[in-house]
Chain A
Amino acid sequence: MSELEETGFELLLDAFIDGDLEPVQRQALLATAAEDPTLGAELAVAVELQQALAGLPEHQVPASLNRKLQKIAQPESHWAGHWLLRPRWAFAAMLVFSLIGGREIYQQHQQVTQQAELAQARQDLALVLAYLDKVNRSVNAQIQMTVNEATAKPVVRVTTKTLQSQLQPRKDFEL
């Protein structure tokens, strides 16, 4: 068999395998193969190989891949894609909450400190007021004493002067 005939026969084999041959061409091919043992063997191998290829089982998807594929179609939960749960926003939110919380704690601490200081100031003030009251009373007493002395002297002076003038003999009765 020449190379050209061989190539032609191989092309016919492909067409035979694919079922593309007309019934007449098919019969002719089978007749040629029956007459030539070499071609007959080639036809037998081609048919056997083709049946074996068509009979190869499909590779079954492994369970791990099947799980991944099923997850693609799973609807996202309400929170799954929430912006607040994205790392940078979560970090920012955490930072803000930390700052607010820290400020609150600081303010509470400040309030406690201020209240303690206020109570101490009140005590000090009460003490000072008590002292001032005491001083005030003492000063009042001194003032009263001074005022009394100051008002008593003029009165005595005027009274003495009046009595002296009353007791002085009148000149018009003098002879």
Chain B
Amino acid sequence: MDKTYRQWIAAHQDRVWSLALYLLRDRAEAEDISQEAFIRLWQCRDEMHEERVGPWLLRVTRNLCLDKLRKQRVEREPEESDLVDERTPEVALGQRGEANRLQGLVTALKEPYRSLVVLRDIQQHSYQEVAEITGLSQPQVKTYLHRARKKLRQQWSEQEHE
């Protein structure tokens, strides 16, 4: 079992860490959340099926991140006006330069838009998997993702013309 578990770590740690970092924008907190997610996986490893590990880990990671964020602010029903977070994410992620400008735009999105872009457009999960991970219906995923993409295109174009 230990060997299998180590294989799961190797296969999923980057995605888990990446999602936590995109959502929390804090390396120390993202590290804590990633560790917690894998501890929970270890605790229920005997009941876990191989194909369920990835979505399960990402769902747990996202929920832990949202719990963390919820403690920092009261979450509202997402509106189009809530798409962009005012804080500057590049500093939190320690990124500079043109290549990482896009990551900055993504991390500036609010929830659930940010999770949807990360899961669908960056990590390339299917709509079904994204719905499963986020707990949203597939139509909700498509609607929110459409808003997020539209916002990203606008900002991407604006920055291109600056």
Chain A residues close to B by CB (< 8 Å): 10-11, 13-14, 17-18, 42, 45-46, 48-50, 52-54, 56, 58-62, 64-66, 68-70, 72-73, 75
Contacts and interface: CB of A to CB of B under 8 A. Distances in A.
A61 B15 CA distance: 9
Contacts of A70: 6, 9
A42 B160 CA distance: 13
Nearest to A56: B122
B149 A62 contact: no
Contact of B149 (A14, A61, A73): A14
B5 to A, nearest CB: 5
Q: Which 9 A-B pairs have CB atoms at the shortest separation, nearest pair first?
A: A53-B121, A59-B18, A58-B14, A61-B17, A61-B13, A73-B5, A65-B31, A73-B2, A58-B18
12 contacts: A49-B149, A49-B153, A59-B14, A65-B35, A68-B31, A69-B13, A69-B35, A72-B9, A72-B39, A73-B2, A73-B5, A73-B6
B124 interface: yes
B5 A56 contact: no
A149 to B, nearest CB: 111
Given A65-B35, A72-B39, 13 more contacts: A10-B146, A14-B142, A14-B146, A17-B149, A49-B153, A50-B121, A52-B102, A53-B106, A54-B121, A59-B21, A62-B27, A65-B34, A70-B9
Contacts of A11: 146
B interface secondary structure, majority: helix
Contacts of B13: 61, 65-66, 69
B148 to A, nearest CB: 10
B102 A56 contact: yes
Given A64-B31, A65-B34, A73 B42 contact: yes
A83 B157 CA distance: 63
Interface residues of B, number: 36
A98 to B, nearest CB: 38
Interface string B115-128: 00100011110010
A45 B150 CA distance: 11
A160 B36 CA distance: 130
Nearest to B9: A69
Contacts, number: 82
A70 B39 CA distance: 11
A54 B124 contact: yes
Interface string B144-160: 01100110110011000
Given A10-B150, A14-B146, A60 B31 contact: no
A58 B15 contact: yes
Contacts of A49: 102, 149, 152-153, 156
Contacts of A14: 142, 145-146, 149
A65 B27 CA distance: 10
Contacts of A62: 17, 27, 31
Given A70-B9, A72-B42, A53 B2 contact: no
A175 B127 CA distance: 179
B38 interface: yes
